[in-house]
């Protein structure tokens, strides 16, 4: 049941026939809305606990959509009512993958990554899961990766990772030599298999971004973290924007960031995985 204050808020726009609670991540309340003007998807959360979360997500989705590289749900409205923030958007009806779904998904992601900026980062901060993600502009990818990605997570996880923090310091000292030099790419930023939906046309649609301009291997590495991306996906990607040699050897390096995020979200069960990945580079 949609909260009554939101029912009242939307009653001038449309009549809600039915609000069905559905999955939409681990931190938001999500509903499919059957209304007098169409079917919509709405995400709700506390405006106090997560200030600016949905406004940042709206900006990220609109930034991705502006590239015209792949389907992105259209944003209808974001706002706050009585302490509840909301994001109202197009509802993506799920369908079955087609034979070429993953091949085209890879091609489309590569086309997205072709969109660049003069610097790493973004003009505003956003979130990854329920954690703040800082996007202060940097000229160097190594500097950005250390200061905007790893250090904030290490600060949060200091009690869990203190016994191997010197390994991170050793990693930082040679970071600039570990990545190939590439221009910043527009990234989804949280590209695991739960953050895309296959629509009724068989196209993969991106959702729940943590967008910024970064090294494109960050998105690629995260697709490897929990699986769900086929060989055809990587074949399609490399057709359009071939990855630099040695990219597989940097997967664990890139995934230090999402793994530290998981340490901070879900606890010490991910600490051993962080340490194992780190040891490959120090």
Question: What percent of the chain clears pLDDT 70, i.e. is strictly above it?
Answer: 99
| Mean pLDDT across 130-139 | 97
Check for a shared fold between 4-90 and 101-278: no
Compute the C-alpha angle 273/277/282, nearest 5°.
Answer: 140
| Residues 253-270 pLDDT 10s | 999 999 999 999 999 999
Dist CA 272 CA 179 (whole Å): 24
Helices 231-240 and 217-225, interaxial angle, to 10°? 170
> Mean pLDDT for the chain?
95
Between the CA of residue 69 and those of 27, 104, 106, 249, what are the distances in Å?
A: 28, 10, 11, 28
- Asked if the 101-278 domain carries CATH number 3.90.1200.10, the reply is yes
pTM of the model as a whole: 0.96
Question: What percent of the chain clears pLDDT 90, i.e. is strictly above it?
Answer: 93
pLDDT of residue 23: 74
| Mean pLDDT across 237-252 | 98
pLDDT at 134 over 80: yes
Domain residue ranges in the chain: 4-90, 101-278
Contact 60, 211 (CB under 8 A): yes
| Mean pLDDT across 233-244 | 98
Q: Is pLDDT larger for residue 176 or for residue 212?
A: 212
Who contacts 146 (Cβ-Cβ below 8 Å, separation ≥6)?
Answer: 172, 175
pLDDT confidence band for 3 (50 / 70 / 90):
confident
Compute the C-alpha angle 86/18/58, nearest 5°.
Answer: 20
Coil, strand or helix: which one is 105? helix
pLDDT confidence band for 25 (50 / 70 / 90):
low
| Mean pLDDT across 47-54 | 96
pLDDT of residue 27: 86
pLDDT of residue 1: 75
Of how many residues is the chain composed? 282
pLDDT at 98 over 80: yes
Positive or negative torsion for Cα 211, 213, 218, 220: positive
Annotated catalytic residues are 190
Helices (H), 115-198: 141-144, 151-156, 158-161, 165-173
CATH says 4-90 is which class?
alpha beta
| Mean pLDDT across 53-82 | 97
| Mean pLDDT across 102-119 | 98
pLDDT of residue 24: 63
| Residues 61-70 pLDDT 10s | 999 999 999 9
């Amino acid at each position: 049941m949609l909260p009554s204050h939101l029912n009242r808020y939307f009653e001038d726009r449309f009549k809600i026939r039915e609000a069905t609670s559905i999955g939409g991540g681990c931190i938001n309340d999500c509903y499919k809305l059957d209304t007098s003007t169409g079917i919509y998807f709405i995400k709700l959360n506390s405006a106090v606990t997560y200030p600016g979360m949905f406004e940042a997500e709206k900006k990220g989705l609109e930034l991705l959509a502006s590239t015209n590289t792949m389907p992105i749900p259209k944003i209808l409205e974001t706002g706050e009512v009585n302490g509840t923030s909301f994001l109202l958007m197009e509802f993506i009806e799920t369908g079955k993958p087609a034979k070429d779904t993953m091949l085209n998904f890879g091609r489309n992601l590569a086309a997205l990554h072709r969109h660049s900026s003069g610097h790493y980062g973004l003009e505003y901060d956003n979130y990854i899961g329920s954690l703040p993600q800082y996007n202060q502009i940097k000229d160097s990818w190594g500097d950005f990766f250390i200061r905007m990605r790893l250090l904030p997570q290490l600060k949060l996880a200091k009690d869990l990772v203190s016994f191997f923090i010197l390994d991170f310091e050793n990693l930082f000292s040679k970071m600039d030599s570990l990545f190939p030099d590439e221009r910043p790419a527009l990234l989804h930023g949280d590209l695991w298999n739960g953050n895309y939906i296959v629509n009724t046309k068989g196209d993969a649609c991106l959702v729940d971004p943590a967008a910024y301009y970064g090294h494109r291997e960050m998105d690629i590495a995260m697709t490897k973290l929990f699986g769900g991306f086929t060989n055809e996906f990587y074949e399609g990607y490399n057709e359009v924007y071939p990855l630099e040699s040695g990219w597989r050897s940097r997967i664990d390096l890139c995934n230090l960031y999402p793994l530290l995020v998981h340490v901070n979200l879900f606890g010490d069960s991910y600490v051993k995985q962080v340490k194992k990945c780190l040891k490959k580079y120090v």
